[in-house]
């Protein structure tokens, strides 16, 4: 059985990692069937890493959410060579070395689904795959271990050096080849077929039944290792990191090249742009990374992305379509966006029927008219936009489009503030803006109320059951049952979701308010870096009596620990634009938007309405700690007497600090334990203060 396992793994490695066939598929299948038969006879000898154990039992519900060991960053895109030149100049200025030459590793940007693999030390130098997680929102993702385990190129167990930490996280891109997509689509009805390999890979990974995933040919290319592991293994460059992944048997795309000039990187970009259609998998550009991990550390990251990397994207695919109509869309802040309704066209693997025209100035610049034939592309390969009018194809009957002067929803005269390109509806009671605000409040990254989609919100507004976001929390069984779309089960499910949403993380609450300029990341900064009062609050919990209840909806008083709406109002009112702007990560535009919002009496009334409905916000465990390390950077080295490395990192981050992987002039403290290694020498050379565990614990008391 052990020999069979080794031989099957060897043949699979050759086939799936190196594209060499040392035996036919029939032979590999026969060996696997022989192993299956032996394992049935001797189940006591089945091992977790057996090729037969990759398919588990189907899940019976939604995919569970789990937190990443390390937050996931996205890459900043570049579409022109000039943007790369600007990037290099920015890095030089940041490092204070205007003439510095960078070694840059160029990798193919695989068009797939980002997945993180977590391996845990199980015995000695043996590590076992315990979890596979989607990128999600960067903080938490979906646990898809059951389907990712079916990817035959991924080792279930690894042998790693003794210096590796107990948990190792390897990230990469799960993808599907073009041939695999074609084979899979052959067995599906036209309406069920996937438009492109990326969609097929994403859909397959999220299958509840791993057997369904196993029947499809998923692949994976790995390209990242968590910083703690990379440091422990003394991998000093990105190239060394990639070679290490290859050495331990991880699937890696070996089409990578190290360059010292952008001109050479540009040539490689142009080469793959010309041959991309002939590749067996989809790519949408190159990824350029500074090779030195020490320089990566010194350059750091923005709130979203590493400063030391760029996704050099191929030009967006362009198609032509005819404009059938131009309509105005009202956003939650009253912003008016003109949208072109198009004849259906296939663009970058999806069917496009609408495209943004951005604003009145853009319409005038392009001279877009209803009836025109236009060039459409996906901005950043995501949002369809009109980029050019083919004037030679313009029908004689077309007329210039005049931007309306009044809101298409409520008829209010539109305003265009000085210095802005966007028209806005100033009516706070505008029906379209109200609907957008309520949908935003219920959305995934805000209150996350399932069942409160566009059609449902439209029904609730039409029936005069809600007029703002807080009204959602006053809905009752008797008020909902019998409405269009509302049967008993839907009504009870929605009320259950609303009940759960009454206790909401503070950052999601702030984002859900729909305040102009307050996106998810800004909301997280406000939640983390502002001192919010917390107390025990008595709230009224309403429970639906359900169909046939003699007593209708029941009420009970419940004590909860959290942040009241009154305290949120009081805290926000206490800030001036200047004091908010002084918070790291909050600029004057965001600060002004927040101050303007809380100054409005209607908005304060909305918070009071949330309060009376029993809504309270809370800080996730640990995030309410005093921010004594705000703006400080720590480096950890050696083994601490009582704290694990993860515990120490958590204590630092909860208090506003950052943890880096290498010592530099920007490091504020080095936390050192036993056997500290070269980082302690670096700290001594640079004059960085060194703490032992006792001194550190005194600081965090």
Whether residues 348 and 451 fall in one domain = no
Nearest residue to 138 via CA among 72, 226, 76: 72
For the chain, give the mean pLDDT. 85
Q: Which residues pair with 341 in a beta bridge?
A: 325, 354
Which of 397, 417, 448 terminates a domain? The answer is: 397
Whether residues 370 and 234 fall in one domain = no
Whether residues 323 and 307 fall in one domain = no
CA 668 – CA 663 distance, rounded (Å): 9
Nearest residue to 633 via CA among 599, 666, 603, 679: 666
Whether residues 476 and 584 fall in one domain = yes
In a domain? residue 419: no
Write the CATH number for 359.
2.40.50.140
Domain extent for 692: 633-700
Write the CATH number for 686.
3.40.50.10190
User: What confidence category does residue 548 fall into, taking pLDDT thresholds of 50, 70 and 90?
Assistant: very low
Q: What is the dihedral of CA 599, 600, 602, 605, to 10 degrees?
A: 0
Q: Which residues pair with 132 in a beta bridge?
A: 117
Nearest residue to 330 via CA among 443, 412, 401: 412
In a domain? residue 410: no
Is it the case that residue 224 has pLDDT exceeding 90?
yes
pLDDT in tens, 95-119: 888 888 889 999 999 988 999 999 9
Which of 109, 289, 649, 658 is catalytic? The answer is 109
Work out the end-to-end distance of the chain between its first and last CA atoms, rounded to an integer number of angstroms: 55
Average pLDDT rounded to a whole number, residues 370-389: 80
Which residues are within 8 A (CB) of 75 and not within 5 positions of it... i.e. 6 or more apart? 287, 305, 306, 309, 310, 311
* Single pTM value for the model: 0.52
User: What confidence category does residue 84 fall into, taking pLDDT thresholds of 50, 70 and 90?
Assistant: very high
Is it the case that residue 404 has pLDDT exceeding 70?
yes
398-406: list long-range contacts, CB under 8 Å, 24+ apart. Answer: 398/369, 398/370, 398/371, 398/372, 399/369, 399/370, 400/367, 400/369, 401/326, 401/363, 401/368, 401/369, 401/370, 403/338, 403/360, 403/363, 404/328
Whether residues 482 and 517 fall in one domain = yes
Backbone angles phi, psi at 323, to 5 degrees: -80, 115
Whether residues 173 and 245 fall in one domain = yes
In terms of DSSP H, where are the helices of 484-545? 488-501, 506-512, 520-529
Whether residues 657 and 572 fall in one domain = no
Which of 568, 595, 618 terminates a domain? The answer is: 618
In a domain? residue 126: yes
pLDDT at 162: 92
Whether residues 566 and 553 fall in one domain = yes
Backbone angles phi, psi at 157, to 5 degrees: -125, 150
CA 220 – CA 204 distance, rounded (Å): 13
Write the CATH number for 16.
1.10.287.610
Report which listed range, 17-31, 457-471, 671-685, is most confident: 457-471
Write the CATH number for 225.
3.30.470.30
Average pLDDT rounded to a whole number, residues 223-240: 94
Write the CATH number for 613.
1.10.150.20
pLDDT in tens, 617-649: 988 664 557 778 888 889 998 888 888 887 888
Determine how β-strand 309-313 pairs with β-strand 77-78: parallel
Backbone angles phi, psi at 39, to 5 degrees: -70, -30
Element (H, E) at 349: none
CA 352 – CA 377 distance, rounded (Å): 10
Is it the case that residue 550 has pLDDT exceeding 50?
no
Q: What is the Cα gyration radius of the chain?
A: 28
Average pLDDT rounded to a whole number, residues 266-295: 92
Element (H, E) at 482: none
In a domain? residue 405: no
In a domain? residue 416: no
Lowest mean pLDDT among 345-354, 364-373, 484-493: 345-354
pLDDT at 21: 61
pLDDT at 157: 93
SS3 state at 101: coil
In a domain? residue 413: no
User: What confidence category does residue 549 fall into, taking pLDDT thresholds of 50, 70 and 90?
Assistant: very low
Query: How far are the Cα atoms of 130, 131, 222, 251, 507 from residue 146, in angstroms, in the given order?
Result: 10, 9, 18, 19, 31
Which of 560, 594, 618 terminates a domain? The answer is: 618
- 649 catalytic? Reply is no
CA 660 – CA 683 distance, rounded (Å): 13
pLDDT at 621: 60
Number of structural domains in the chain: 5
Whether residues 502 and 606 fall in one domain = yes
Q: Which residues pair with 224 in a beta bridge?
A: 171
In a domain? residue 389: yes
In a domain? residue 409: no
The two structure tokens encoding residue 325: 């109509």
Whether residues 439 and 542 fall in one domain = yes
Q: Is 38 exposed, middle or buried (0-12, 13-18, 19+ CB in 10 A)?
A: middle
Whether residues 161 and 191 fall in one domain = yes
Whether residues 307 and 380 fall in one domain = no
């Amino acid at each position: 059985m052990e020999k069979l396992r080794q031989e099957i793994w060897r043949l699979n490695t050759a086939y799936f990692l190196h594209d060499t066939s040392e035996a036919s598929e029939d032979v590999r299948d026969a060996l696997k069937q022989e192993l299956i038969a032996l394992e049935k006879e001797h189940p006591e000898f089945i091992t977790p890493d057996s090729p037969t154990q990759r398919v588990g039992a189907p899940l019976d519900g939604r995919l569970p959410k789990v937190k990443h060991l390390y937050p996931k960053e996205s890459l900043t895109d570049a579409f022109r060579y000039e943007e790369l030149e600007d990037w290099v100049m920015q890095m030089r200025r940041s490092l204070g070395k205007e003439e510095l030459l960078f070694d840059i590793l160029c990798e193919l940007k695989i068009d797939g689904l980002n997945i993180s693999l977590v391996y845990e030390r199980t015995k000695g130098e043996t590590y076992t795959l315990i979890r596979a997680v989607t990128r999600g929102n960067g903080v938490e993702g979906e646990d898809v271990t059951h389907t990712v385990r079916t990817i035959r190129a991924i080792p279930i167990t690894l042998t790693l050096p003794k210096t590796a930490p107990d948990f190792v996280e390897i990230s990469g891109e799960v993808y599907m080849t073009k041939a695999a997509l074609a084979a899979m689509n052959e067995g599906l009805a036209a309406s069920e077929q996937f438009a492109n390999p990326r969609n097929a890979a994403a859909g397959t990974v999220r299958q509840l039944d791993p057997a369904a995933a196993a029947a499809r040919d998923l692949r994976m290319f790995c390209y990242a290792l968590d910083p703690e592991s990379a440091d422990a293994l003394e991998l000093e460059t990105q190239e060394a990191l990639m070679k290490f992944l290859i050495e331990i048997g991880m699937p890696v795309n070996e089409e990578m090249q190290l360059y010292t000039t952008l001109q050479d990187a540009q040539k490689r970009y142009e080469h793959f742009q010309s041959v991309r259609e002939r590749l067996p998998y989809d790519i949408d550009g190159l990824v350029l990374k500074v090779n030195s991990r020490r320089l990566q550390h010194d350059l750091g990251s923005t709130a979203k992305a590493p400063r030391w990397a760029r996704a050099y994207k191929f030009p967006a695919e362009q198609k032509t379509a005819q404009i059938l109509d131009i309509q105005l869309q009202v956003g939650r802040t009253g912003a008016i966006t003109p949208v072109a309704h198009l004849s259906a066209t296939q663009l970058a693997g999806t069917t496009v029927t609408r495209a943004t025209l951005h604003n009145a100035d853009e319409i005038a610049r392009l001279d877009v008219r209803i009836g025109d034939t236009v060039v459409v592309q996906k901005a950043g390969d995501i949002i369809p936009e009109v980029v050019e009018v083919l004037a030679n194809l313009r029908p004689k009957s077309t007329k210039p489009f005049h931007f309306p002067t009044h809101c298409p929803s409520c008829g209010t005269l539109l305003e265009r503030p000085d210095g802005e390109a966007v028209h806005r509806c100033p009516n706070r009671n505008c029906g379209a803006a109200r609907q957008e605000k309520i949908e935003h409040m219920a959305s995934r990254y805000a209150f996350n109320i399932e069942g409160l989609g566009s059609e449902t919100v439209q029904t609730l507004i039409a029936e005069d059951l809600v007029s703002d976001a807080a009204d959602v929390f006053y809905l009752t069984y008797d008020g909902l049952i019998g409405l269009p779309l509302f049967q008993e089960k839907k009504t009870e499910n929605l009320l259950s979701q609303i009940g759960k949403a009454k206790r909401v993380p503070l950052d999601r609450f702030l984002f859900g308010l729909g305040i102009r300029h307050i996106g998810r990341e800004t909301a997280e900064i406000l939640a983390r870096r502002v001192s919010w009062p917390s107390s025990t609050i008595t709230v009224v919990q309403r429970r639906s009596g359900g169909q046939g209840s003699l007593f209708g909806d029941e009420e009970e008083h419940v004590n909860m620990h959290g942040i009241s709406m009154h305290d949120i109002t009081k805290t926000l009112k206490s800030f001036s634009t200047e004091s908010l702007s002084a918070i790291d990560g909050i600029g004057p535009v965001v600060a002004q938007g927040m101050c303007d919002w809380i100054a409005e009496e209607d908005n304060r009334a909305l918070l009071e309405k949330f309060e009376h409905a029993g809504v309270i916000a809370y800080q996730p465990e640990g995030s309410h700690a005093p921010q004594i390390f705000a703006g400080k950077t720590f480096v950890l080295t050696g083994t601490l007497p009582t704290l694990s490395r993860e515990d120490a990192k958590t204590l630092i981050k909860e208090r506003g600090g950052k943890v880096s992987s290498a010592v530099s002039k920007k490091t504020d403290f080095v936390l050192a334990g036993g056997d500290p290694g070269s980082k302690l020498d670096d700290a001594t050379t640079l004059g960085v203060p060194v703490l032992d565990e006792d001194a550190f614990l005194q600081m965090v008391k």
